[in-house]
Chain A
Amino acid sequence: MEKKSTEQLQEVASQVRRDILRMVHQVQSGHPGASLGCTEFFTALYFDQLKHDSDFKMEGKNEDLFFLSNGHISPVWYSVLSRSGYFPIEEMSTFRKLNSRLQGHPATEEDLPGIRIASGSLGQGLSVAIGAAQAKKIDGDDRMVYVLMGDGEQEEGQIWEAAMYAAHWKVDNLIATIDLNRQQIDGPTKEIMDLIDLRAKYESFGWTVIDTENGNDMKSVIEGLEKAKSLAGKGKPVLNLLHTEMGFGVDFMVGTHKWHGIAPNDQQLADALAQLSETLGDY
C-alpha cells in the first residue's frame, strides 16, 4: 500500500466517522462516543503505522498486531478493518444484528477477519497483548504489538497486574495506548474514580510514557505513534497517553459521557452526517 498523505488519512477518518454513526444508528445500539474520539488513532494505525495483512492470519507472524481492550468501541474497529480490506464494507450493515460476524463486542466465534481475541469485559486486553508480545520475542519476530485501552478501564485491578508484569519481563515490543477522554459511563473519570496521574503511575511501574496531546489531530497522532516506536526496544514497555475528546467530529456529541453508549435518532444522524463528508462512499 502506498503511503497516504495526512489529508488523505483525514479523508479516511471522515468516512470512518460516517460508518460509526450509521452502524450505531441503524441498530439503535452501540457505542459512538469513544469510537468517534479514537477515529484518528485507528485510521493512523491501519492506514499508516501497522505492518499488517488484510488476508488475515490468526498467528500474524512478522506482522504488527493490534488488540482492542475496550471492546465496546467496536464500530471504529469494524470500520477501519473493512475499509482496509479485511471484509466487505457491506457487512457493516449487519452490525449487532442476529447472525452477524460483527458482534456488539469483538469476537472470534464466527472468525471475523482482523479479530484475534474477544473483548468487552474490560481490563483484560493488556495482559493478552503482553502475552502476544512475549510470543513474538520467543519467535525472534521483531514486529510490534499494539493495544488500546480506555481511561476508565484503568480502574480495573488486572491492568496493574499486567503493568507490573510487562515492566518486570521487559516487554519492550509493546506500545499500549490509553484513550484519555476523561469520561466513562457514569460521568467524568475525575468524579467517578479519580485516576489522578496516569503518567506517574505507569512510570513508577517501570514504563516509558509519552503524551499525544492532540489525539484528534492526524499529524499529532502519527507523530505520537512514531515517537512511541522509537522508544521501543529499550528494555521498557511504552505507554502512549492519547488525549482525545469523546464524540469528536460531531459538534453535539463532543466532550461528554452522554454519548458513551447511545445511538443517534434519525434527525441527530442527519445533523451529524452533515458535518462529515462522504469521502470513500457509504457502505
Chain B
Amino acid sequence: MEKTLDLKFNYTDKKDTRSGFGDGLLEAGRKNPNVVGLCADLIGSLKMGAFQKEFPERFFQTGIAEANMMGIAAGLSISGKIPFTGTFANFSTGRVYDQIRQSIAYSDKNVKICASHAGLTLGEDGATHQILEDLGMMKMLPHMTVINPCDYNQTKAATMAIAEHEGPVYLRFGRPVWPIFTPADQKFEIGKAWKMIDGKDVTIFATGHLVWEAVIAEAMLREEGISAEVINIHTIKPLDTEAILDSVAKTGCAVSAEEHQYNGGLGDSIAQTLIRNNPAPLEYVGVDDSFGESGTPTQLLEKYGLNAANIVAAAKRALARK
C-alpha cells in the first residue's frame, strides 16, 4: 500500500531506533568526558557496546539490578557526571519508579534514563516486556523531561541533545527496524514540536514509531481529498502547547497517535491542552486499556489499532465531530 502512495517523506534505509541511541551515545561520549554509561545486562540490546569499548573507564555493567543502577546513576551525577542508564523500557520505569522518583526526579539529578524495546513493536517477547504505560508514569514526575523520537536519525540527534540538557530525562525508543525518514543532520530541539506536513482539515499529532504511520495516513487522507497536518511530537514533556493550539486553531480537530495506553499518554496531554484553551474534537490512536501480546510488530499494530489505517479512520471521526 505504501508503495503506490505519494508520501511527503520517504526513506531509503531502515534501522532500529535503539541503534540511533547507541550511535548518539558514542558521539556524546566523545564530545563530553562527563558522559558515563550504565547498563543492566542488556548491552547488546541497547547498542551500548561501542561506547563501552571506547570508554571502558566510563562504563558500568550493573548486572540485572535496575533499582541499584538508578541509585548509582544518581550518585554519579552529584559530582557532575552525566549518567546514561540503559535497559528495556519496562525495567527503566515501572520496575524502578520510586528510585527514579526520589533519587532522580525529586532530587533533580542530571540522569538520562534511556529505554529500549518500548511499546508493542518489541514483538514476540509479549506483554511482560511491552510496556504501554511508561510515558504516563514518566510525564507525571515533576522535573522530568520525556522524549519519544520517531526514527534512527531523530533518536541519535535526541541522544546527543539530552547530553547537553541539564536535568532528568526519559528517552524512549524501540527494537524494530523502522524507516529512516527524517534528516541525518537535524538539530534536535527539546520541547519544540516539528510540523512535518502542512494541512488544513485535521491535525495528526504523532510520537515515536507512529510518526511514520502518520506520514502514510496523511497520503491516504489526501487521496480522499482530506488535508491533514502532521506534527511530530518528539517531546511529550514539556509539551509544545503553542504548536498544538496554533495548529488546531487552523484545522479545528485532531488525532493523537502513540504506541501507548490511551490513559496517561500523549493523547491525554493534548486533551488537557485543548480542553483548557480550545475544546476541539480529538480522537485517540493508542491502546485502549489492555496489555499487549506476542506477535510481529506489524501484526500487533494492526490488531491493537495503531497503524496508518487506524489513523485515517480516527481522522474521519474527528472531522465528523467538527
Contact = CB atoms under 8 A, between A and B. Distances in A.
Determine if chain A interacts with chain B: yes
B65 interface: yes
Nearest to B43: A186
A281 interface: no
A27 B125 CA distance: 11
A139 interface: no
The secondary structure that dominates the A interface is: loop
Contacts of B95: 121
Interface in B287-316: 291, 293-296, 299-300, 303
A32 interface: no
Contact of A186 (B41, B91, B128): B41
A104 B65 contact: no
A192 B128 contact: no
Interface string B59-78: 00111110110000000000
B61 A104 contact: no
B123 interface: yes
Contacts of B41: 152, 155, 184-186, 192-193
A20 to B, nearest CB: 15
A106 to B, nearest CB: 8
Interface of chain B, helix or strand or loop or mixed? loop
Contact of A97 (B43, B125, B294): B294
Contacts of A185: 41-42, 44-45
A96 B124 contact: yes
A24 B300 CA distance: 19
A184 to B, nearest CB: 6
B127 A98 contact: no
Contacts, number: 94
Contacts of A153: 64
Interface residues of B, number: 31
Interface in A68-121: 71, 96-100, 102-105, 107, 109, 118-121
A102 B125 CA distance: 11
B298 to A, nearest CB: 10
Interface in B29-76: 39, 41-45, 61-65, 67-68
Contacts of B148: none
Nearest to A71: B128
Contacts of A121: 90-91, 95, 128-129
A206 interface: no
Nearest to A98: B295
Nearest to A193: B63
B295 A193 contact: no
A193 to B, nearest CB: 3
Given A98-B296, A186-B42, A193 B62 contact: yes
Interface residues of A, number: 31
Given A98-B300, A185-B41, A109 B64 contact: no
B67 A157 contact: yes
Interface string A230-261: 00000000000000000000000000000000
A95 to B, nearest CB: 8
Interface string B257-288: 00000000000000000000000000000000
Contacts of B291: 109
B126 interface: yes
Contacts of B299: 98
A15 to B, nearest CB: 24
Contacts of A120: 125-126, 128-129
Contact of A109 (B62, B127, B296, B300): B127
A122 B126 contact: no
Contacts of A123: 64
A122 B64 contact: yes
B63 A30 contact: no
A27 B296 CA distance: 10
A155 B64 CA distance: 5
Contacts of B43: 186
Contacts of B293: 98-100, 103, 109
Contact of A29 (B62, B123, B127): B123
A30 B124 contact: yes
Contact of A96 (B42, B45, B294): B294
A157 B65 CA distance: 7
A93 to B, nearest CB: 13
A156 interface: yes
Interface in B125-141: 125-129
Interface string A141-158: 000000000001101110
Nearest to B62: A193
A193 B39 CA distance: 12
Contact of B64 (A27, A30, A96, A152): A152
Contacts of A30: 124
A202 to B, nearest CB: 18
14 contacts: A97-B295, A98-B294, A98-B299, A99-B293, A102-B294, A104-B124, A105-B127, A107-B128, A120-B125, A120-B126, A121-B90, A155-B41, A156-B65, A193-B61
8 A-B pairs closest in CB distance: A193-B63, A120-B128, A98-B295, A104-B126, A155-B63, A29-B124, A103-B126, A96-B124
